[in-house]
Amino acid sequence: MKIRIEALSTDTAERIRRERRDDLGNQDLPVVVADDQPGFPCRHCPRDAEIGDEMILFTHAPLPARGAYWSAGPVFVHAAGCPRYAEVDRLPELVLGRLLSIRAYDRRQRIVEGELVQGADAMPLVTSLLARPEVDHLLVHFARLGCYAFRVDRA
């Protein structure tokens, strides 16, 4: 089975850069300078920021409809722009050294399953969850801080 990583859309990243306002109404979004590595992971490329990179911090909700499993949290995007992640069948390198929370959702945006896994060992779990017929997509979070990373779909 082929998988596709759905990083933050370019439309959303560009709107955040241009308007400095997120979907939850937060305005005058802060620009922070990355001062540690790894850290400050961009949700559009997705890569950890280099020390000195300017990053916009904003609130993002990966599920579109507000329901029982809806949540929003802090994420970063490069202030200067970056290319959107477009790999198929490959998880971004920034997950390799991190503990991940992988949550499987059905078409009604209800959680079917949730697992913790080291990023370097995540691909077999990703493919086995997506092989289940009731699973529509996965949301991946950085488990230690709980921040959203990206969505995974069947390609």
The per-residue pLDDT for 74 is 94
Q: Around Cβ 39, how many Cβ atoms within 10 Å?
A: 13
Side-chain-side CA neighbours of 30 within 13 Å: the count stands at: 7
Q: For the segment 32-88, what is each residue's pLDDT rounded down to a tens digit? A: 999 998 889 999 999 999 999 999 999 999 988 788 888 889 999 999 999 999 989
Domain range list for the chain: 7-78, 93-154
Q: Around Cβ 20, how many Cβ atoms within 10 Å?
A: 16
Range 130-134 average pLDDT = 97
* Residue 90 confidence (pLDDT) above 80: yes
* Rg of the chain on CA atoms, in Å: 15
Q: Please, is 42 exposed, middle or buried when counting C-beta atoms within 10 Å of its C-beta (0-12, 13-18, 19+)?
A: buried
Element (H, E) at 3: strand 3-6
